[in-house]
Structure 1
Amino acid sequence: MSAEIDETADIGRQRRSRYDDAAIVALAERQHGAVGRDQLAALGIGEGAIRYRLTCGRLYEIHRGVYAVGGRRLTVAGRRQAALLALGPAAVLSHRAAAAQWGLRRSEAVDVTVPRDRRAPSGVVVHRSILPADEITERGGFAVTTVSRTILDLAAIRPLHEVAKAADEAERLRLGDSLSLADVVARYPGTRGIRKVRAILTDARIGADVTRSELEDRFLRLVRRARLPRPQTNVLVETATRTYECDCVWREERLIVELDGHASHGTRRAYESDRERDRALNAAGWRTVRITWRQLHTDPESVRRDLRALLSSSRSTKPLT
Structure 2
Amino acid sequence: MPRQPIRHHPRMDQIELFRACLGVLSTAQLLHTGITRSAIRRALAAGRVQRLRRGWYGQQPHPDAIRAIALGGCVSCMDALQHHGAWRPRDKREHVRVSEERRRTRGSRGRARVGTPRQRPRHTRCRPYGANPPVAAALDDLEIAFRCALRCADREQLVAIADSLVHRELATLEQLRSWAADAPSSGRGWLDLVRGEAESGTESMVRLRLRALGVAVSIQVRMWRGRRVDILVGDRLIIECDSVAHHTDLEAYERDRRYDRMHVAQGYLVIRLTWQQIHDDWPAVERDILAVIRRGDHRWPRRKPRDSEPSAA
TM-score (norm 1): 0.41
More helix by share: 1
The structure with the greater share of residues assigned to strand is 1
User: Which has more radius of gyration?
Assistant: 1
Higher relative contact order, structure no. (Cα contacts within 8 Å, ≥ 6 residues apart): 2
